[in-house]
Amino acid sequence: MADTLILCLLLGTFAAFWIGLLNVIAVWAGWKELARRYPDDGSHEGQTFRFQSGAMNGLAKWSSPCNYGSCLNLRVCPAGLRIAVMFPFHFGHSPLFIPWSEFRQPTQKQVWHYFTFFEAVLGEPPFRRITLPSWIWDFQQEGAG
């Protein structure tokens, strides 16, 4: 009985810590602010790409990026891009739907001479920088989705 209680307390403590940590990360990365500006209603059809990577950070020089390595589901739609974080990392990260018109100043960025990303500023006035695989932008530019 005591062992079961201890196990339940440990699991509950871990779950509370995990959910709290992911909510802190969501605030720090600016995900919560993006979710308020770009909520997803789930009505957009398009091609979904799972296990993708990306990063978000503020526009200030001192802001450091928050990386989402291989835990994003990206859905390329004619109207915009749906971004969702996969389970078990999705706590505190509501799905986003960002219209293509909100991606400003897209530039290509190369990391380690191998990985190519596109980086864009979101919003008007600009408030957040996002980095995603470059083929997402190319895919959208080709009119696919």
What is the domain extent for residue 43?
29-141
Residue 21 maps to a domain? no
Residue 72 maps to a domain? yes
- 83, 84, 85, 86 alpha-carbon torsion, rounded to 10°: -130
pLDDT score recorded for residue 102: 93
CATH number for the domain spanning 84: value is 2.30.29
- List pLDDT tens digits, range 114-134: 788 888 999 888 888 899 998
- List pLDDT tens digits, range 16-69: 999 999 999 888 888 999 999 999 998 889 999 999 999 988 776 656 678 899
Residue 100 maps to a domain? yes
Determine how many CB atoms are found less than 10 A away from the CB of residue 66. 16
The stretch 55-84 carries a mean pLDDT of 85
Indicate the pTM of the whole model. Answer: 0.86
Residue 9 has pLDDT above 70, yes or no: yes
Residue 16 maps to a domain? no
- Specify the number of domains making up the chain: 1
Q: Report which of 59, 66, 76, 57 is spatially closest to residue 125, judged by C-alpha positions.
A: 59
